[in-house]
Structure 1
Amino acid sequence: MSDLSKRRLKLWIRLLGVTRGAENHLRDYLRREHATTLPRFDVMAALWRRRDGVTMSELSRMLLVSNGNATAVVDRLEADGLARREAEDGDRRRIRVRLTPAGLTSFEAMATGHEAEVDAIFDRLSDNDLDTMREILTRAGKAT
């Protein structure tokens, strides 16, 4: 194995560590401050971005999860009055899900705190650091 190969492997391990650390911090924040989970936040974020609603298949693709996982989260959101399912154009076989007004309000409160937490996680990075990392990660992502 070449020196460069070993360095790339170490970088991969470091990226995983940073990602997992940030994710764990955000999971803890959402649990403590909003009594919610990261998957629930992610579903609400996807629905917030698509105010006109999405099908369950679209939602699963957007979040890179199975239909079953997305359905379980949407079931709980619907039971809590934060999301609703509606037949598309009267076709009961094609269902769209969207946030309710209460869901929009709830998500926006969570999103504000979530953004502040992400900002705090990366507060030691300068504008230049962020630009450089974004460019590097964009190049790295083109290989996949």
Structure 2
Amino acid sequence: MTPQRETLTEPMSKTRLRLWLKLLKTSSRIEGELRRRFRDKFATTLPRFDVMAALSRFPDGLKMSELSDLLRVSNGNVTGIVDRLTNDGHALRVAVPGDRRAQLARLTAAGQAAFAELAQAHEAWLDELLQGLDAADAAVLHSLLGKTEGETDAQ
């Protein structure tokens, strides 16, 4: 059976299952390569990059709970990464006025500079890893994947 004919005769649920498996395989391959490159080139981790990226978007800082919600990880994971960033001089914690238990985490100037270098490499790596897609392909794929979240505009 040809792939086209097979798609026409099988339930849509099977087609969507194959799509999910392809997305998962592709995502895992790219994530694994990013993890390796961050480790080899910068002696850092993808989760550390993710925390720095989140903090870079909020220069006034984020509460630890906000950071963990944004990244969809546990408070414990975020706390450990922020602790290491703080020890390295890339982040700092400041008290939240009126809330003795809460702290804001934010990047220091050194952290912003380190993140800028990581972000530049990250973008270049993704450009390389997705080079099989031209601009039109990337735009169509982005739009189609947006339909899974009910998106109506290009984000």
TM-score when scaled to structure 2? 0.87
Question: Aligned partner of 1:53: which letter?
Answer: G
**Structure 1 runs of 4+ with >4 Å offset:** none
User: Aligned ranges for residues 87-98 of structure 1 at < 5 Å?
Assistant: 87-89=95-97, 91-98=99-106
For 2:62, the equivalent position in structure 1 comes to 54
For 2:5, the equivalent position in structure 1 comes to none
Determine helix, strand or coil for the equivalent of 1:36: coil
1:141 to 133, 146, 149: 149
Task: Say whether residues 1:126 and 2:142 are aligned partners.
Answer: no
**By how many angstroms is 1:89 displaced?**
2.4
For 1:68, the equivalent position in structure 2 comes to 76
User: Aligned ranges for residues 2-81 of structure 1 at < 5 Å?
Assistant: 2-81=10-89
Structure 1 spans left out of the alignment, 5+ residues? none
Determine helix, strand or coil for the equivalent of 1:51: coil
Determine helix, strand or coil for the equivalent of 2:93: strand
CA RMSD of aligned residues (A): 1.4
Question: Aligned partner of 2:78: which letter?
Answer: A
The structure number with the bigger radius of gyration is 2
Higher RCO, 1 or 2 (CA under 8 Å, sep at least 6)? Answer: 1
Structure 2 spans left out of the alignment, 5+ residues? 1-9
